[in-house]
Amino acid sequence: MVNIGVDYYPEHWDESLWEKDAELMKTAGVKTVRIAEFAWCRIEPRENEFDFGWLDKAVKIFAERDIDVVLCTPTNCPPLWLYEKYPDSLQWTRDSKPIATGIRGHRCYNSPSLRRLSERVIVKLAEHYKDEPAVIAWQIDNELDAVHCCCPTCTEKFRNFVMSKYGSLPEVNSAYGNVVWSGEYSSETQIIPPLGSYELAWYNPAYMLDWFRFCKESVNDFVRFQADLIRSVIPDAKITTNTWLCDKTPDFHEMFKPLDFVSYDNYPQTKLPDDPEELYSHAFHLDLMRGIKRKNFWIMEQLSGVQGCWMPMLTTPKPGMIKGYSMQAIAHGADKVIHFRWRSAAKGAEMFWHGLIDQSNKPSRRFGEFTELCAEVRRLEIPENAVVNNKVAILYSSEQESALQIQPQTNGFHYYNQLKSFHDGLTALGIGCDIISEKADFSGYRVVIAPTLFITDENVSKRLHRFTEKGGVCVITNRSGVKDDNNGCIMSPLPTVYSDMTGCKVAEFDAVGRDSVKIKMGGSDYRVSQWCDILELCGAESLAEYAERFYAGLPCVTRNSFGEGICYYAGTIGERKFYKDLMKQVLSTAGIEYVDDLPQNVEITVRETNEEKFTFIFNNNGEQIGVEYCGENFILMPFECRVLKSRKG
């Protein structure tokens, strides 16, 4: 059954508190705890001296109360003695120097010393707990990101990565176009990480994309290395890592391949946006996480209190948020929602990232809401095999994200917002969707939305063609088909490989940035910004035209029949209602029914088994709201999530 947990740090608290805490957890309805991800210095206080006594005691206290334990490998924070003795364990900055220690996450994934000492502690840990039934899952490291380490080991590995990919220097030079600015490699020693303080866009984009790929592969390899170690001791261990959205995101799809399930650290913002155009629905991230393995996932860290620490503190979660945002996660496929953290730290830099209980150790409003949550989840009895089934997919690709980070297209243009806009349009119509890899199987979907296919993967292109030809509805956008797999420009009219599907070509474009331009679609006006493809029809019909600038009257959105299917092309980036209205047409084309009069920010999601159906109606607003759904009328309180449970006919 879906259940609720907390993150707990026995090593942060006096032992006298452990039993009291566990007792209160039990009373509140906590079923899972995650522990030990930062505890290396206690597990191995001196090199090769291990101490599991304290951890045994903690695990036992939970086990005795039927609270399951998620155990972590502690590699995020090697102890100071390790850095001191094995300085090659440190990441190097773009200044070619080791980073300063004293915070967290300083280790280089490729460091031989780090690997060797990680292996020892992981194996010891796994061996020690392999027969402990309370340990139901393993977390690798913590919030891994694809750091750009410039240490000698990484330099050497990157060089090998490049050479083994291309085979010879002439091939590398040709693939990268190194002749531009006279940068051709004449010796392998010239292949180094991007040092210096230049903006990313100053570097050769082909080289940079390979550098990003290498850095992401380093994380993947570190994950594989750890998963293999755990499985070498516990063959049937259930293993994950808790991922997040950060500056240097890993390749979620590749990173989780060797792992059993996805887990995510979910911190929805506590302040609703002032700008009604801001795309704030974190449901997008939940769908992205579910899409990685197209399976249910866990929340390993969930919003529990005031956030702060390295930033000034933010507004407290409003009444309803603690419960509502957990329910929203469950609605989108979370099988466990583990709250970060049981009690706010009294020491250390993270003390103002508040938990369910404040340092006063006096449970208050937020904890009350949490216990209500536990009770409701227990009452609902949602089986873990209740899954989310959608007919619409949005394609995500780590490649596109990196390429667009390297070369931002215009002011205000963000890859994620491209995806979020469509997700938002669908959500506004009560339609759930999956965010899946562009390399995933498209079968089962009626609509595939493929925003910003900037880097062209031939296979993806082929499969999209096939999907549409066979009757699917496909949506392609501006900045698609721009680049080949080496991040070089494809030398044919945009959207290049997609032109046949879209039935239109980009005659030219206007990168308008934060300025806006009026368009007309079906009798209504919309504002678009950032990017304006000026389209030439070659078979498609125009759905919308610009109403300003020198391209007034020319098409910006088109529809084309391709085989048995339909391909839409959106050559510009619009306001929220543009996506809602565009999605209506797309869904109608695909024969998918939608809810037209859903109040703003109310989200409808369904999880189902063969027998049962759970419909989640979530009010993601600070005010109460009346909703009519399937003939029933509800009043939803702020952030309330109403769950309708029904048996299937």
- Catalytic residue list: 143, 301
Tokens of 399: 């490649």
Quick one: which of 27, 411, 588, 646 contacts its own copies (CB under 8 A)?
Answer: 411
Q: CB of residue 645 vs its own copies: minimum separation in angstroms?
A: 29
Q: CB of residue 113 vs its own copies: minimum separation in angstroms?
A: 16
Quick one: which of 16, 66, 131, 199 contacts its own copies (CB under 8 A)?
Answer: 199
Q: Which residue, 394 or 504, has its beta carbon nearer to its own copies?
A: 504
Distance CA 16, CA 13 (A): 8
When asked if residue 291 is in the footprint of its own copies (CB under 8 A), the reply is no
71 closest CA partner among 355, 352, 338, 384: 338
Q: Judge residue 72's burial from the number of C-beta atoms within 10 Å of its C-beta, 0-12 exposed, 13-18 middle, 19 or more buried.
A: buried
When asked if residue 363 is in the footprint of its own copies (CB under 8 A), the reply is no
109 closest CA partner among 255, 323, 328: 255
Q: CB of residue 534 vs its own copies: minimum separation in angstroms?
A: 9
| Sign of the alpha-carbon dihedral angle for 628, 633, 635, 640 | negative
Quick one: which of 1, 179, 246, 635 contacts its own copies (CB under 8 A)?
Answer: 179
Contacts of 35 (CB under 8 A, 6+ apart): 7, 8, 9, 10, 55, 58, 59, 69, 70, 71, 72
Return the residues of window 152-171 that contact its own copies according to CB under 8 A.
none
- Are 472 and 441 in contact by the 8 Å Cβ rule? The answer is no
- Please report where in the chains the tokens 């494809």 appear, as a residue: 490
- Are 311 and 268 in contact by the 8 Å Cβ rule? The answer is no
Return the axis-axis angle of helices 415-427 and 398-406, rounded to nearest 10°.
Answer: 130
Residue type at 77 in one-letter notation = C
Q: CB of residue 100 vs its own copies: minimum separation in angstroms?
A: 3
Return the residues of window 200-239 that contact its own copies according to CB under 8 A.
201-206
Q: Which residue, 358 or 500, has its beta carbon nearer to its own copies?
A: 358
Rg (CA), the chain: 26
Give DSSP secondary structure letters for 573-625.
EE-HHHHHHHHHHHHHHHT----SSPPTTEEEEEEE-SSEEEEEEEE-SSS-E
When asked if residue 190 is in the footprint of its own copies (CB under 8 A), the reply is yes
When asked if residue 443 is in the footprint of its own copies (CB under 8 A), the reply is no
Q: Which residue, 360 or 646, has its beta carbon nearer to its own copies?
A: 360
Return the residues of window 256-275 that contact its own copies according to CB under 8 A.
271
- Are 70 and 338 in contact by the 8 Å Cβ rule? The answer is yes
Considering only the stretches 154-162, 187-195, 466-474, 603-611, report the one whose residues sit in contact with its own copies under the rule CB under 8 A: 187-195
- Beta strands 541-546 and 555-562 are antiparallel
Considering only the stretches 62-70, 246-254, 282-290, 506-514, report the one whose residues sit in contact with its own copies under the rule CB under 8 A: 506-514
Q: CB of residue 449 vs its own copies: minimum separation in angstroms?
A: 24
Q: CB of residue 648 vs its own copies: minimum separation in angstroms?
A: 39
Tokens of 339: 């709250």
Q: Which residue, 333 or 355, has its beta carbon nearer to its own copies?
A: 355
Q: Which residue, 286 or 636, has its beta carbon nearer to its own copies?
A: 636
Specify the DSSP element, H or E, that contains 338. strand 334-339
Q: CB of residue 3 vs its own copies: minimum separation in angstroms?
A: 26
When asked if residue 84 is in the footprint of its own copies (CB under 8 A), the reply is yes
What are the CA-CA distances from residue 37 to residues 65, 485, 581 (Å)?
22, 37, 46
When asked if residue 53 is in the footprint of its own copies (CB under 8 A), the reply is no
Q: Which residue, 95 or 458, has its beta carbon nearer to its own copies?
A: 95
Phi-psi map region of 478: left, alpha, beta (phi>0 left; psi -120 to 50 alpha): beta
541 closest CA partner among 509, 578, 589: 589
Q: Which residue, 186 or 610, has its beta carbon nearer to its own copies?
A: 186
What are the CA-CA distances from residue 458 to residues 291, 483, 611 (Å)?
22, 11, 41
Q: CB of residue 539 vs its own copies: minimum separation in angstroms?
A: 17
Return the residues of window 470-499 that contact its own copies according to CB under 8 A.
488-494
Query: How many residues belong to the site for its own copies (CB under 8 A)?
Result: 102
Specify the DSSP element, H or E, that contains 170. helix 169-176
Q: CB of residue 51 vs its own copies: minimum separation in angstroms?
A: 12
Q: Which residue, 123 or 192, has its beta carbon nearer to its own copies?
A: 192
Q: Which residue, 5 or 193, has its beta carbon nearer to its own copies?
A: 193
When asked if residue 45 is in the footprint of its own copies (CB under 8 A), the reply is yes
Distance CA 92, CA 194 (A): 12
When asked if residue 368 is in the footprint of its own copies (CB under 8 A), the reply is no
Considering only the stretches 93-101, 119-127, 467-475, 606-614, report the one whose residues sit in contact with its own copies under the rule CB under 8 A: 93-101
Quick one: which of 26, 104, 391, 527 contacts its own copies (CB under 8 A)?
Answer: 104
Q: CB of residue 267 vs its own copies: minimum separation in angstroms?
A: 15
Q: Which residue, 82 or 583, has its beta carbon nearer to its own copies?
A: 82
Tokens of 189: 């020693």
Distance CA 496, CA 1 (A): 49
144 closest CA partner among 256, 40, 34: 256
Return the residues of window 302-361 that contact its own copies according to CB under 8 A.
306, 308-316, 318-319, 344-352, 358-361
Q: CB of residue 256 vs its own copies: minimum separation in angstroms?
A: 25
Considering only the stretches 224-232, 288-296, 439-447, 505-513, report the one whose residues sit in contact with its own copies under the rule CB under 8 A: 505-513
Q: Which residue, 11 or 376, has its beta carbon nearer to its own copies?
A: 11
451 closest CA partner among 493, 489, 412, 414: 414
- Are 419 and 284 in contact by the 8 Å Cβ rule? The answer is yes
When asked if residue 16 is in the footprint of its own copies (CB under 8 A), the reply is no
**How many of the other CB atoms lie within 10 Å of CB of 199?**
8
When asked if residue 574 is in the footprint of its own copies (CB under 8 A), the reply is no
Q: CB of residue 147 vs its own copies: minimum separation in angstroms?
A: 14
| Sign of the alpha-carbon dihedral angle for 356, 244, 134, 77 | negative
When asked if residue 8 is in the footprint of its own copies (CB under 8 A), the reply is no
Return the residues of window 544-563 that contact its own copies according to CB under 8 A.
550
When asked if residue 46 is in the footprint of its own copies (CB under 8 A), the reply is yes
Q: How many CA atoms lie within 13 A of 477 on its CB side?
A: 23
What x/- string results for residues 21 through 40 when contact with its own copies is judged by CB under 8 A?
-----------------xxx
269 closest CA partner among 617, 620, 507, 572: 620
Quick one: which of 48, 164, 189, 633 contacts its own copies (CB under 8 A)?
Answer: 189
Considering only the stretches 9-17, 113-121, 590-598, 605-613, report the one whose residues sit in contact with its own copies under the rule CB under 8 A: 9-17
